[in-house]
Amino acid sequence: MSNQPFKDKEQVKEQVLNAMNFRHATKEYDKNRKISDEDFNYILEAGRLSPSSLGSEPWKFLVIQDPTLREKMMEVAPGAVEKLKAASHFVVILSRKGVRYDSEYILNHMKTVQHFPEEILDTISEQYKYFQEGKNILDNERTLNDWSSKQTYIALGNMLTAAAMIGIDSTPMEGFQADKLDALLESEGLLEDGAYSASVLAAFGYRKEDPNRPKTRNSIENVVKWV
Ligand SMILES: Cc1cc2nc3c(=O)[nH]c(=O)nc-3n(C[C@H](O)[C@H](O)[C@H](O)COP(=O)(O)O)c2cc1C
């Protein structure tokens, strides 16, 4: 990768905004069109490279291609039924539970992924404690796990945009019963003994037809305030 990840800035700006306009929450997929492995790996890479608070990467991307499991998921994810039936690829983004400053996960992550030198681990851990306490992240299990879940939405957004940049459609989805989906995934051995929980879903593929309504958004004046 070069220091400057683009050649022609104006062209890139146009491409990004075109992709943002092209992207819509796709309702129906063409079940005959499949995303190539190469293209799908690129979407996963956009997720993997996403930023996260403390660089904690509290996520996993479960790619659900098994038709039997997709079938079972339909019972607990009513908002995803059509996508589970026809989307080329279907991802459950899992979020890691219990990502406290002093958890084994964080300590191991600092050592083996972030390659922090051993002698600074205690200092960093102290800083993380200060940060997590100050943001009320440690108040209870819910606040801690919600903090992890928030990070997964950054990966989600990047994956949707990366897909749109190469003409691949997508749907982000929260339309599932959280406890039931977790129970199902746990029974399939996919949550690493309760270490993870389903955070948000995303389908990828090719639209069956163009959206029947143009994109609607608040005006820039309503959402931006310069001070
Ligand atoms: C986190 C999240 C969860 C969503 N959940 C669902 C869902 O369960 N089912 C669905 O059809 N659309 C879902 N949507 C799509 C939104 O309704 C859609 O993004 C919004 O109406 C804006 O439309 P657009 O994405 O087509 O521009 C979700 C979107 C987000 C970002």
Helix (H) or strand (E) run with residue 184 in it: helix 178-187
pLDDT digits (tens, 9 = 90+) for 38-61: 999 999 999 999 999 999 999 999
Task: Give me ligand 1 centre to Cα 224, in Å.
Answer: 22
Q: What is the CATH number of the domain that holds 167?
A: 3.40.109.10
pLDDT digits (tens, 9 = 90+) for 144-176: 999 999 999 999 999 999 999 999 999 999 999
Residue range of the domain that includes 205: 9-99+150-209
Residue 79 lies in a domain: yes
Residue 127 lies in a domain: no
Task: Give me ligand 1 centre to Cα 170, in Å.
Answer: 10
Residue 118 lies in a domain: no
Residue 131 lies in a domain: no
Q: Is the CB of 47 under 6 A from ligand 1?
A: no
Domain count along the chain: 1
Residue 217 lies in a domain: no
Residue 50 lies in a domain: yes
Residue 37 lies in a domain: yes
Hunting for tokens 């019963």 — which residue is that? Answer: 177
Q: Is the pLDDT of residue 5 over 80?
A: no
Q: Is the CB of 200 under 6 A from ligand 1?
A: yes
Which residue has its alpha carbon closest to ligand 1 atom 31?
172
Tokens of 65: 């291609």
Residue 87 lies in a domain: yes
CB 42 within 8 A of CB 162: yes
Predicted structure pTM score: 0.96
